[in-house]
Amino acid sequence: MEAQVRAVAREILNGIQLAADSDCKSQWLDAAVSLIVDSKNEKGLHPLLCHYDDIPIDHLKTIYKEHHYSRLCRKILDLLTIEWIQTAAGAVNRQIETIFLRGPPTYALLALDQALLSNSQGFRLQKVTVLLEQFIKNDRLKQVLWDQCHITSSSSVQSPADFHAGKAGLWDELIRAVSSLPDKIANKLGRETSDIFLPQNYVPLLGKYILECLQRCHDSLMKAQDCSLEFISRLLGKLCLKGFADILFDTLVPPLCVLVNKDYVLLVQNLIGYLASSQTRRHLYAKVLCDLLKVWGNASTLRHVSEEQHLFMCRVLMVSISHLQQADQKQRKHELVELLLPGVQAHLNSTNVNIRTRGMLVAQALTRTIDPEGQQIEFEIIRNREVEELEKLLVLPTDPGLTEIEHDDDLVAYDMSHDKPVTKVKTPVYIRDCMEEEFTKILLHSTESYGIPEFVLHRFKAMVALAVHCPSQVARYLSAQFYERNYNIRQRLDMLEVLATAAQELSQPEASTSKATSRWSPVRHTQAESTTNPETWQQIVQQRINSKTRRFIKGPSKPEPTPVPNRFGHVAGEFFFPLMRFYDKSESVFDLMGSDSLVLHRLVYTLAIILYAAINTTAASQMGKSLLEFTWGLRIHSDVSVRQAVLVATSMVLLVVPGHFLLTDLQMDIMETKEWLQMVLEKDVNTECRKLAMQALTLLDNTVAMDFIGCFFCHRIPTYIYRLSVFVPITLALLHIQVLSTSALTKMAFRSAVIAKPPAPGVGNKY
Amino acid sequence: MPQRNVMQPSPDPVYILRGSSSPVTSLHFLPILTNTLLSGNQDGKVYVWDLKTRRIQQKINAHLDSVLQVEASPVADSLLTHGRDGYARIWRTGEAAFTCTDQIQVSSKGFCAAKMLPQTGKSYLIVLPGESSSVTVYDSSTKQLVRELVPPSTKLGMCMCMQPVLDSTGSAWGLLVGYESGSLLLWDVVSGKLLSELMLHSDAVMCFKYSSSANRGFSGSVDNQLLEWTISAENENKMSLIDKTVVTNQGFNDIVIRCDNKIVATAGWDSNVRVFSTKKLRPIALLSFHRGSVKALSFSCDGLLAAGSEDRLISVWDVYRS
């Protein structure tokens, strides 16, 4: 049979090649077409081949298409001349198109690709590109892709490995052809390239075909038919290497995302699930988990990895934890715990709340899984969307096929979300029975176990209220406790935040101004009302009278604000100085200058805020001086957050301490500070630090300029101006006079920025 | 994600029976008159409730102390009550009211409730907790002690609860007894022989039920585990654990199995009633209504579930009946 088909093929080729005239050629082409195209009305063989009628026609066609079609294509392309086409008018064109567009697309494409290479110009090249364009416009490429993925029933007897081996050579050639088509055409045709071959058109089209092909693969896999995705994956790889990745994935990713969400394909989860699902792959899964945990727990990774990468790592870890089985738990318990502990420590040391939270979450999940009966790490984790998303990953995705089986009994469960553990609540104590200091103590030690919504916020507010009510006692108590033993970091941070907030509250004048302003508003009131629709005649009359009445008002348009004593003034020192008392005292439990840099950073911030609250009080100068001395040693601290806090504190000193005091009593310190700030501006690695240094420098310059102007108008040039002129030229000061309004604005903006700096209470301090 | 069936909200009771003078300690639907519910109270009173009018039909001053058991005979012609005052009493239905016909003094002052063991015909045995770990068996007609079931080991502690094991005709051949130690013993009531033993819980068996038709038993203790076990008839009546499930809160007061063996309900110290499908011991409903610990449960033969609580209310639930 094979031999006979070969004979047919040879006869057709010879016929086409050797035919005397174009009519004869055309008839042979017809014969070829009849073998390639499945036409329904034509039953028998073409008249030229009728002496082969002993071969079953279907067989003949199949074998011909599979083995001889490729050679036919090449032959036709070789023979293609302008004379042949012209003499035979339209018929040959149509026949050739039929052969190329309706035959097996893979071979047609390869033949065309080859012809493209061997012909540099002229009619044949033009014909080839036209055919290629037709080929693509007729969506034949889609068929090419699908043919490579689809394992036909005839080849299904082979193993997938055989299938791949058999196709390897063909695929190499095909991938080269498909991926380089735009380049080749552009090389040959230059500016005359058809739009369809431009990468921005061709690649998305290819993407669309790939997507459709994947969809078909999915469908046939659902019907338990084998598919191979190797070709597609190699093609994708090749296209990406060629630099089409962006265009390609713009087309592929959005629809894929939709499909993936719709259809239970969960990326990371699939991957880990695949590794964990089989005993033979299990060791790979364990290795992944351990390696990942090692990287995750590495303190230097934590410093250098971006937040998104960290989140991704945590996601993968959570998924991996969900796959841990009993056997692994016993076997690898020690290994995992050993990897986990340094990681937890590194995370808890982090100054970033998100990273801390994630660290706690992973640690909690892992210890729970490894040893459900043993002791477990329990953290107070702030619930947010990210936490919930990560926790969801702990639940293994259910196999959509299995859920049906679970409902074998017809009893559908009711909602049981109210099934909660019963907790016993202690009897409440009346607040009025508690002393201030005593109450602060209770609040400080109370943890969130009462199920009160927003407990932390309430506790915080209560403590601040206490501190405002009797500042002296509470401040003394809190600042003394700050350096005591037996407090956790959360409590220490609470102390700082309470002190800072209470200081701010105390320094605000009590709300008495609102009454005063309201007295001055009636005239404006009626004007405002006139815009609304008057309803009664009295109103209309009143309105007309108002509009015709002219009022003359003497005196100030706004009342002078009533001066009130600053409640913070006389207690500022009690808030401020005790907090700096023992900062260098190193204890085993609480090492401010060492590992507890998180507390240190909050401490410096708090001192800065208290100082700001003490603005315009008599103690401010002395406090500023102390703070400058205190932060001097922290200027080159290794932790970025501490450095930032120091910079903020420095700005505060410049802002709060009166200019003349800065430039007389603190002159040396300020000069040194300025040098340091300039150094930070030039050398610090952290952008935020540089920004803060910039602000501080601007403030310093402003202070000097303002003071200078003040002196200037008083005709009193103090001696220090001459000394200062070493580093603040007079010209600079004069320049500042011009831009005074602007810099005043900057100052205002900066004040509000600094006040906004500390995070909202109860957010940053949860452990 | 595909749209799952939207979960039905947790059910509410169909009605509440109010009027108990003290916490409800025992409940029993009359086997034939489905519209009648008996309740025993902590003050020793037994109420007969008419479920049509939802009112108390009759108040019986049955005992001087907490009622441990109210139970009707299979044909509902007589009633057994057992109180902590140390008496088990038998009542007969007259024209309108139940009247006490006999009483047996119970030597144990524990919490183990007396139980009726139906025999062939209308007769039945009454089992009562005896001294230490023993169980006494009385004949209902003669009121005579038939035999005493004394375990060989004294480490079992007091009897906590008892359940009959019935044959296919509905007469009891065996008795399951749960002890303070957490063990469950199976006795042959006819010969008085100990057949098998199973260590179920680490603490006292607080309550259990056994369904002879399904050959499944469910038991609960003071912890949060509900256990499922079976008796192997082929293997010398050896008992074995099949399944267990953990519930949210500790402590079981009562367990009931519905007549069709499809669902099991447990009364919890946490004032909730939990419903499980027996097939996989899967929790399917959490009935929350009471404000005090739920003390007693009963299924009517047409599937109504009654729950009596420390809060003096009896809630009636209509779940999974269709």
Q: Would you tell me the crossing angle of helices A69-79 and A105-118 to the nearest 10 degrees? A: 30
Residue A369 has, within 13 A of its CA and on its CB side, a CA count of: 26
Sign of the alpha-carbon dihedral angle for A177, A183, A186, A189: negative
Does the beta carbon of B7 lie under 8 angstroms from any beta carbon of chain A?
Answer: yes
Residue B70: phi, psi to the nearest 5? -130, 125
Domain that residue B58 falls in: 21-106
Greater confidence (A55 vs A695) lies with A695
B134 to chain A nearest CA, in Å? 36
For residue A411, the chain B residues in CB contact (below 8 A) are: 262-263, 277, 284, 320
Residue B26 lies in a domain: yes
pLDDT at B186 over 60: yes
Q: Which of A635, A614, A634, A612 is nearest to A756 (CA)?
A: A612
Pairing relationship of beta strands B314-317 and B305-309 according to DSSP bridges: antiparallel
- B55 contacts chain A (CB < 8 A): no
Helix and strand element counts for chain B (H, E): 0, 28
Query: Using the beta-carbon criterion (under 8 Å), do B286 and A416 form an inter-chain contact?
Result: yes
For residue A508, what pLDDT is reported? 81
Put simply, the answer to whether B248 touches A420 (Cβ < 8 Å) is yes
**What is the three-class DSSP state of A495?**
helix
Contact A260, A214 (CB under 8 A): no
Q: What are the two backbone dihedrals, phi and then psi, of residue A600, each rounded to the nearest 5 degrees?
A: -60, -45
Given a contact cutoff of 8 angstroms between Cβ atoms, the answer to whether B260 and B221 are in contact is no
| CA atoms within 13 A of residue A27's CA, in its CB half-sphere | 12
B298 three-class SS = strand
Q: How far is B252 from chain A (nearest CA, A)?
A: 14
For residues A53 and A34, give the distance between their C-alpha atoms in angstroms, rounded to a whole number. Answer: 14
Per-residue pLDDT of A90-132, as tens digits, reads 677 777 888 888 888 888 888 888 888 777 667 788 888 888 8
Among B3, B10, B294, the residue to mutate for chain A (most A Cβ within 10 A): B10
Q: Which amino acid is at B54?
A: R
* Residue B109 C-alpha, separation from nearest chain A C-alpha, in angstroms: 31
Q: Identify which of A163, A150, A60, A58 has the alpha carbon closest to the alpha carbon of residue A106.
A: A150
**Residue B309 covered by a domain:** no
Q: Is some CB atom of chain A closer than 8 A to the CB atom of B94?
A: no
B176 falls in which pLDDT band (50, 70, 90)? very high
Phi-psi region of A126 (alpha: psi -120 to 50; beta: other; left: phi over 0): alpha
DSSP line for B62-96? --SS-EEEEEE-TTSSEEEEEETTSEEEEEEE-SS
More confident residue, A704 or A755: A704
Task: Please tell me the predicted confidence (pLDDT) of residue B9.
Answer: 87
Residue B277 has its nearest CB partner, among A409, A416, A422, at A409
Q: Higher pLDDT residue, B67 or A447? A: B67
Q: Are A761 and A457 in contact (CB under 8 A)?
A: yes
Inter-chain touch A413–B284, beta carbons under 8 Å: yes
B49 part of a folded domain = yes
More confident call, B5 vs A582: A582
CB contact under 8 A, A413 and B279: no
Distance, in Å, from the CA atom of A78 to the CA atom of B202, rounded to the nearest integer, reads 91
pLDDT digits (tens, 9 = 90+) for B146-169: 889 999 877 888 899 999 999 888
Mind listing the pLDDT tens digit for each residue in A295-349?
A: 888 878 777 777 778 888 888 888 888 777 766 667 777 788 888 888 888 888 8
Radius of gyration of chain A (CA): 41
| Domain assignment of residue B176, yes or no | no
- Asked if B10 lies within 8 A of A420 by C-beta distance, the reply is no
Touching check for A395 and chain B: CB below 8 Å?
Answer: no
CATH of the domain at B52: 2.40.10.480
Residue A592 has pLDDT above 80, yes or no: no
Question: How close, in Å, is residue A424 to chain B by CA atoms?
Answer: 11
Cα of A358 vs its chain's centroid, Å: 15
Q: Which residues of A touch B284 (CB under 8 A)?
A: 411-414
Whole-number pLDDT of residue B2: 40
How many other C-beta atoms can be found within 10 angstroms of the C-beta atom of residue B309?
A: 24
CA angle (A332, A333, A337) in 5-degree steps: 115
Q: In whole angstroms, what is the distance from residue A343 CA to residue A349 CA? A: 10
* Residue A266: per-residue pLDDT: 53
Residues of A in contact with B294 (CB under 8 A): none
Give first-to-last CA distance, chain B, whole Å. 30
- pLDDT > 70 in chain A, percent: 75
What pLDDT band is residue A513 in, cutting at 50, 70 and 90? very low
Lowest mean pLDDT among A137-146, A272-281, B117-126, B234-243: A272-281
Q: What's the pLDDT band for A762 if we cut at 50, 70, 90?
A: very low
Overall average pLDDT of the A367-381 stretch: 74
Of the candidate ranges A226-230, B51-55, B139-143, the one whose mean pLDDT is the lowest: A226-230
Q: Which residues of B249-272 are buried (b: 16+ CB within 10 A; e: fewer)?
A: bbbbbbbbbbeeebbbbbbbbbbb
Written as six digits, the tokens of A222 are 């659902």
A560 vs A100: CA distance, rounded Å: 94
Q: What is the residue-averaged pLDDT of chain B?
A: 89
Residue A576 banded pLDDT, cuts 50, 70, 90: confident
Predicted confidence (pLDDT) at residue A738 exceeds the cutoff of 70: no
CB proximity list for A275: less than 8 A, separation 6 or greater? A281, A282, A284, A285, A288
Tell me what pLDDT residue A326 has.
67
Q: Band of the pLDDT at A634, cuts 50, 70, 90?
A: confident
Structure confidence at residue A555 (pLDDT): 58
What are the CA-CA distances from residue A446 to residues A279, A314, B10 (Å)? Answer: 49, 31, 35
Number of residues that this document lists for chain B: 322
Per-residue pLDDT for A213 more than 80? yes
- Residue B244 is classified by DSSP as E
| Cα distance between residue A372 and residue A329, in whole Å | 10
pLDDT, tens digit (0-9, with 9 covering 90-100), for A62-93: 788 778 888 888 888 877 777 777 666 667 77
Cβ-based contacts of A422 with chain B (< 8 Å)? 249, 270
Q: What is the pLDDT of residue A169?
A: 80
CB–CB of A409 and B270 under 8 A?
Answer: no
Q: Which residues touch A430 (CB under 8 Å, ≥6 apart)?
A: none
Is residue A404 less than 8 Å (CB to CB) from chain B? no
Q: Which of A418, A420, A422 sits opposite B10 (nearest CB)?
A: A418
* Residue B167 C-alpha, separation from nearest chain A C-alpha, in angstroms: 27
Contact B10 A409 (CB under 8 A): no
SS3 content of chain A, % helix, strand, coil (to 5): 70, 0, 30
**Tens of pLDDT, residues A519-529:** 333 333 334 44
**Is B279 in Cβ contact with A414 (below 8 Å)?**
no
Residue A618 in this model has a pLDDT that exceeds 50: yes
Q: In chain B, what percentage of residues exceed pLDDT 90?
A: 58
Helix (H) or strand (E) holding A640: helix A640-656
What band does A265 get if pLDDT is binned at 50, 70 and 90?
A: very low
The number of domains in chain B is 1
Interface test with B, best of A422, A423, A424 (most B CBs within 10 A): A422
Is B177 within the bounds of a domain? no
Q: Which two tokens stand for residue A126?
A: 């033009």
Q: With 60 as the cut, is the pLDDT of residue A517 above it?
A: no
Does A422 lie at the interface with B, CB-CB under 8 angstroms? Answer: yes
Residue B203 included in any domain: no
For residue B284, give the chain A residue with the closest CA. A413
Q: How far is B24 from chain A (nearest CA, A)?
A: 22
Question: Which amino acid, one-letter code, is at B13?
Answer: P
pLDDT of B299 over the 90 cut:
yes
- Beta-bridge partner residues of B118: B124
Q: Is residue B27 part of a domain?
A: yes
**Contact check, Cβ <8 Å, B320/A411:** yes
A242, A247, A250, A255 alpha-carbon torsion, rounded to 10°: -70
Q: What is the pLDDT of residue A469?
A: 79
Three-class SS string for A51-85?
A: HHCCCCHHHHHHHHHHHHHHHHHHHHHHHCCHHHH
Q: Residue A629 and residue A676: Cα distance in Å, rounded?
A: 14
Q: Does B248 touch chain A (CB under 8 A)?
A: yes
3-state per-residue secondary structure call for A106-146? HHHHHHHHHHHHHCCCCHHHHHHHHHHHHHHHCCHHHHHHH
Distance, in angstroms, between B9 CA and closest chain A CA?
5
Quick check: B254 contacting A, CB < 8 Å?
Answer: no
Q: Where are the domains of chain A?
A: 1-239, 264-393, 436-508+567-711
Q: What's the mean pLDDT when you consider all of chain A?
A: 74
User: What residues contact residue B9 under an 8 Å CB cut-off, 6+ apart?
Assistant: A414, A415
How many CB atoms neighbour CB A749 within 10 A? 11
Distance CA A510, CA A491 (A): 29
Q: Is B284 on the interface with A (CB under 8 A)?
A: yes
CA dist A584 and A593 (Å) reads 6
What is the percent of chain A with per-residue pLDDT over 90, rounded to a whole number? 0
Question: Are residues A409 and B280, on separate chains, in Cβ contact within 8 Å?
Answer: yes
Strand partners, B276: B264, B283
Nearest CA in chain A to B8: A414
Please give the residue of chain A at the shortest CA–CA distance from B320.
A411
DSSP 3-state of A261: helix
Q: How many CB pairs under 8 A join A and B?
A: 50
Q: Please, which pLDDT band fits residue A682 given cuts at 50, 70 and 90? A: confident
**Gap from A49 CA to chain B (nearest CA, Å):** 58
What is the rounded distance in angstroms from the CA atom of residue A351 to the CA atom of residue A478?
23
User: Taking a C-beta distance cutoff of 8 angstroms, is the pair A49, A27 a contact?
Assistant: no
A409 interfacial to chain B (CB closer than 8 Å): yes
**Residue B283: closest CA among B271, B298, B273, B295:** B273
Report the pLDDT averaged over residues A588-599.
Answer: 72
Q: A663: how many CB neighbours lie within 10 A of its CB? A: 23
State mean pLDDT over A450-461. 77
What would the pLDDT profile of A146-201 be if each residue is shown by its tens digit?
888 777 655 444 565 666 677 778 888 888 888 888 888 888 877 777 888 888 88
CB pair distance less than 8 Å for B286 and A400: no
Residue A475 has pLDDT above 70, yes or no: yes
**Mean pLDDT computed over A412-434:** 67
Pick the CATH number of A436-508+567-711 from 1.10.275.10, 1.25.10.10, 3.40.50.970, 1.10.1740.10: 1.25.10.10
Rg (CA), chain B: 19
Residue B183 lies in a domain: no
pLDDT for the residue numbered A163? 67
